[in-house]
Amino acid sequence: MLHSLLVTLLFLGLAAPASAQSISVIDSEYSVGKQVSGAVRIGNAFVVLPPGSFTVAVFNESESTGSAAIHSKLHLAWLVQSVDGRLNRAILIESNTGNSLVGGWNRNKEICDRKDIHHNDSDQNYSIKDTHCWSVNHYVLGRSSSTSKTTAAFYDYTKDMRRPVAALVNAFYLVKGASFLRALYYLNPEIEGFDPAKQDWRTNDWHMDRISGNSKRSAYVASVKAEGEVLSKLYKSGFAFAGSSPVGDAGQMVASAVQVNPPSRR
């Protein structure tokens, strides 16, 4: 039987020196191969990690485009976690560096505004300088004509790790003033014993319209949502931009950890 996900949020310190919290910084190609745990900083944002060690699999730096920002670099990274050589979790993180902003950051409609997914808890103020979006969706993991170079690099890295056909994802898009964070937490349901799903998103076994008659799949999605709810509360507390928000200055931040008992079918 699929047990409910037990999630405990531990506040280890408030406004403690960042140097005392062992926050790993991901800021260049030299970060690839690094083992990280607890929390990381990329660009202007802090990102909390589920328990265990993650490997930085991909790093990319690019220039921002469009009218949202001028001369602001974007840092993107893929982190992976394996169990016995098999992909267990992956996290996609993207944030900006610098503060040369014109008007804020455009809303990410894929994360913020979709209704045909398992869950959406997003603000409705549509401010380009203050955004908090969280959604739960299933993502098909396969190459297509629109696959980006960084995602292709992630696929190359995990090609021998029994990557699932589809993953359940807690997706976050946050904006605070001159900074943004996009963080997607991927969970592999196949490692818990579920059969591989179909490649097509709409006819996928993890689609919201197809899980209602399956108690085990419904319970698994509920457990993913439970983890996302704790992460959402943490990010709403100001964790992501603790280095530049009223929560703390450049030398102070909120240190937090999320402990998760992963879903099990046993």
Distance linking the first and last C-alpha atoms of the chain:
6
**Beta strands 39-42; 166-176: pairing state:** unpaired
Work out the pLDDT band at 71, boundaries 50, 70, 90: low
Name which of 259, 257, 255 is nearest 14 in CA terms: 255
Cα separation, 167 vs 118, whole angstroms: 13
Q: Residue 135's pLDDT is what?
A: 97
Which whole number is the average pLDDT over 95-113? 83
Q: Does residue 30 register a pLDDT over 50?
A: yes
- pTM exceeds 0.95: no
Residues 6+ apart with CB under 8 A from 3: 223, 261, 263, 264
Q: Does residue 151 register a pLDDT over 90?
A: yes
Q: Residue 242's pLDDT is what?
A: 74
What single-letter DSSP state applies at residue 239?
-
Sign, CA torsion 258/49/39/51? positive
Higher pLDDT, 134 or 98: 134
Q: Does residue 115 register a pLDDT over 70?
A: yes
Higher pLDDT, 51 or 245: 51
Which whole number is the average pLDDT over 28-36? 95
The answer to whether residues 60 and 28 touch, using CB atoms and an 8 Å cutoff, is no
Which whole number is the average pLDDT over 4-20? 33
The answer to whether residues 57 and 156 touch, using CB atoms and an 8 Å cutoff, is no
Q: Residue 64's pLDDT is what?
A: 77
Cα separation, 70 vs 250, whole angstroms: 23
Instruction: Give the lowest-confidence range in 17-31, 88-102, 107-121, 209-223.
Output: 17-31
Mean pLDDT of the chain: 82
Which whole number is the average pLDDT over 200-209? 90
Cα separation, 220 vs 241, whole angstroms: 30
Residues 6+ apart with CB under 8 A from 242: 46, 248, 252, 253, 254
φ/ψ of residue 96, rounded to 5: -105, 160
Q: Does residue 224 register a pLDDT over 50?
A: yes
The answer to whether residues 182 and 235 touch, using CB atoms and an 8 Å cutoff, is no
Which whole number is the average pLDDT over 250-260? 36
Work out the pLDDT band at 102, boundaries 50, 70, 90: low
Element (H, E) at 217: helix 215-236
